[in-house]
Amino acid sequence: MIVLLFLAIPSFQLLTAQLTPPENPDLTLKATGNQWYWSYEYEVGETPLSFDSLMMKEEDRASLGKEDKHEYPRLLAVDNEVVVPIGKTVRVLVTAADVIHAFAMPAFGVKIDAVPGRLNETWFKAEREGLYYGQCSELCGKDHAYMPIAIRVVSEDKYKTWLAAAATNVGDANKALMASIDGAAKTVDVAANAAQ
Residues that bind Cu ion (CB under 5 A): 101, 136, 140, 144
- The answer to whether residues 114 and 35 touch, using CB atoms and an 8 Å cutoff, is no
Phi, psi of 35, deg, nearest 5: -80, 105
Q: How far is the CB of 71 from Cu ion (least distance, A)?
A: 24
Residue 94 or 136 with smaller CB distance to Cu ion? 136
Q: How far is the CB of 137 from Cu ion (least distance, A)?
A: 8
Q: How far is the CB of 118 from Cu ion (least distance, A)?
A: 15
Q: How far is the CB of 31 from Cu ion (least distance, A)?
A: 12
Residue 131 or 140 with smaller CB distance to Cu ion? 140
Phi, psi of 21, deg, nearest 5: -60, 140
